[in-house]
Amino acid sequence: MASSQVVNKRESRAARAGSALLAATLCAIALGGCMSVKSERVNLVPVAASEPVSSIQLSRAVVAVLPNETAVTLASGSQWQRTGAILQGDVYRSQGSLFTITTRRQNEAYLVASSGKLVGFYLPGESSFMALSRPVNLPVEMRQ
């Protein structure tokens, strides 16, 4: 009888451990799904060598909310150089530092502006565009 109780305790522990592992796996999958965002493949038309360098500087911080509800901040005073265009707008790369956002993983991101608004991000590693749910005004201090 005693050996039967030991076996039952072991089976019970194994069942609890299996349930905990299953719960942890489901949480990881759910969180991974929350971090993923929809993006579409786009073709970047780079700035021609004959065009003058165009850059902007933000006069204040800009907070944008990604489709997965993650907030990203573009720093006040940050400078961005125009690198090209896509159908959705002009594409600007951060000057002086790498700007990244987290989707399924950490990605370098360039801002995409149209009509004075941040409309999304160009992800150069994936050649894709990720639209914001709500475009945000870009407070541009300086244009060159």
Residues 77-132 have pLDDT tens digits of 999 999 999 999 999 999 989 999 987 788 999 999 999 999 999 999 999 999 99
**Using CA of residue 75, residue 102, residue 136, residue 116, what is the dihedral sign?**
positive
* Mean pLDDT calculated for residue range 31-38: 48
Q: What six digits make up the tokens of 69?
A: 């509800």
State percent of the chain over pLDDT 70: 72
Rounded Cα distance, 45 and 85, in Å:
5
Q: What six digits make up the tokens of 8?
A: 């039952």
Rounded Cα distance, 66 and 37, in Å:
8
Per-residue pLDDT, 105: 82
**Using CA of residue 12, residue 14, residue 17, residue 21, what is the dihedral sign?**
negative
Per-residue pLDDT, 142: 62
Cα 60 from chain centre: 21
CB 74 within 8 A of CB 50: no
pTM: 0.72
Banded pLDDT at 23 (limits 50, 70, 90): very low
Q: Which has the higher per-residue pLDDT, 129 or 3? A: 129
Per-residue pLDDT, 49: 87
